[in-house]
Structure 1
Amino acid sequence: MNNEKRREIFRRLQEANPEPTTELSWSTPFELLVAVALSAQSTDVGVNKATARLFAIANTPQALLELGLEGVKEQIRTLGLYNNKAKNLIKMCELLVRDHGGEVPNSRTALEALPGVGRKTANVILNTAFGEPTIAVDTHIFRVANRTHLAPGKNVDQVERKLLRVVPTPYRRDAHHWLILHGRYTCMARKPRCGSCVIEDLCEYREKVYS
């Protein structure tokens, strides 16, 4: 795919959704960090229901520590892997209070040093909470990048590196959200909705679906 096509893809995605953002509910960087940490193998809808309960009684690192492990488990038990997630949240809060004054750091190194936070989660926080032009490659972005030939790669690291090279600079900050939403609602895994896709004529997928 050439750069002219890529630029037009993002121009259209921007036109269709000028201010994309995460579908997770959050109001502070800490709430976003918790929500993203809870989102593994869970839907955004499920996470939002759990965090609505949790944040109503504890939405700071110190408050979660005071709630305690069993208290956190009780609030998030509707989510998959909630035992491990609760343990990681408590450990994360301990480090945030001890090393960062209870604030979420805005550096990749510090974020990835937190329990349960890998590169993808760090990218989400840096992009969504702090406005950095990072791209967190999840299953949706991986599929869209490969299927359209926007930025094909054999693994998420390859796709991330290629996207950071080929996404035009003016679109880089919001590319993460555009691609996730496109993969979630249009370029779906089993049956892409090619007939209603705003970039259908630019996409290089050979097996398009129109019915």
Structure 2
Amino acid sequence: MSKFTTISLMLDELYPNAQCELNFHNPFELLIATILSAQCTDKRVNEITKRLFPKYNSAEKMATLTQEELISLIRDCGLFNSKSKNILATSKILRDSFNGQVPSTRKELENLPGVGRKTANVVLANAFHIPAFPVDTHVFRVAHRIGLSQGKTPEKVETDLCEIFPKDQWIKKHHQMIFHGRNLCKARNPLCEKCPLQVLCNYFLEGK
């Protein structure tokens, strides 16, 4: 059994129910929550969207807000000036050019203000169930430490992970690697002694 297969099976055992932890009820809510999540925890985003989405859960409704009104609702997440500007611009584009609907192609998503490759991948994977492998800071760190990629950019790490794992596992492995990064393979003070992957982990075997 290859190292990659073993890692995949161990992730399945560790995190059988790993899934997106952003709360959403439709593609628009997920898109907005993902934009808000930049340099912000999912927990904090969920607290913000709990008060935002009951009234503003569509592009049409969101576009009625002024930037000042939106900032007052999302201020807790940081980077609120740029996020509010992008959210309002994106909402107006969706309202005017997409009949209020979130597009389901990468190209159209990445053309929206505030939407990069990772955000597009999150929406494709979790809103539309289209195979994609979003690479956030957790996935990037875990991939490097356990030897799945040495790519210097998220795009290269994504390419490597997509080559390692079967396409029908991309979404699940993305979530499992996030859970692993949050629970054990932390950025600071990783819990290596508790990690079942240590026997396969370059970071641990090389003495950190």
TM-score, length of structure 2 as denominator length: 0.93
Give the Cα separation in 1 of the matches to 2:168 and 2:62: 38
CA RMSD of aligned residues (A): 1.6
Contact 1:151-1:159 within 8 A present in 2 as well: yes
Counterpart secondary structure, 1:184:
helix
Listed as ranges, the gaps of 5+ residues in structure 2 are: none
Alignment of structure 1 residues 28-67 onto 2, 5 Å: 28-67=26-65
> Structure 1 stretches of 5 or more lacking a match?
none
Distance 1:173 1:141 in 2: 12
Is 2:8 the partner of 1:13?
A: no
TM-score for both structures, normalised by structure 1: 0.92
State the match for 1:178 in structure 2. Answer: 176
Deviation for aligned residue 1:69:
2.2
Partner of 2:143: 145
Q: CA deviation at 1:202?
A: 2.2
Q: Show structure 1 runs of 4+ deviating over 6 A.
A: none
- Contact 1:24 1:44 (8 Å CA) reproduced: yes
**Cα distance in 1 for residues equivalent to 2:77 and 2:136:** 19
1:110 to 108, 111, 114: 108
The letter of the residue matching 1:22 is C
**Counterpart AA for 2:56:** A
How far apart in 2 are the matches of 1:152 and 1:94?
Answer: 39
Query: 2:200 maps to which residue?
Result: 202
Q: Which digits, 9 at most, give the CA deviation of each residue in 1:142-194, with x for residues without a partner?
A: 11111111122122121111111112344223111111111111111122112
Give the partner amino acid of 1:160.
E
Deviation at 1:62, TM superposition (A): 0.6
Structure 2 residue matching 1:199: 3-state secondary structure? helix
Percent of residue pairs identical? 43
CA distance in structure 2 between the aligned counterparts of 1:72 and 1:161, rounded to whole angstroms: 36
Which amino acid in the other structure matches residue 90 of structure 2? M
Aligned: 1:155 with 2:153 = yes
Contact 2:148 2:160 in 1 (8 A): no
Residues 131 and 168, structure 2, Cα contact 8 Å, conserved in 1: no
Shift of 1:207: 4.2
- Measured in 2, the distance between the counterparts of 1:208 and 1:197 equals 14
Match of residue 68 from structure 1: 66
Distance change >3 Å, CA 87–CA 67, structure 1 → 2: same
Provide the rounded CA distance (Å) in 2 between the counterparts of 1:107 and 1:124: 12
Q: In the superposition, relative to structure 1, how do residues 183 and 208 fare at CA in structure 2: closer, same or farther (>3 Å)?
A: farther
Tell me if structure 2 keeps the 8 A contact 1:25–1:48. Answer: yes
Q: Provide the secondary structure at the position in 2 that maps to 1:171.
A: helix
Shift of 1:48: 1.0
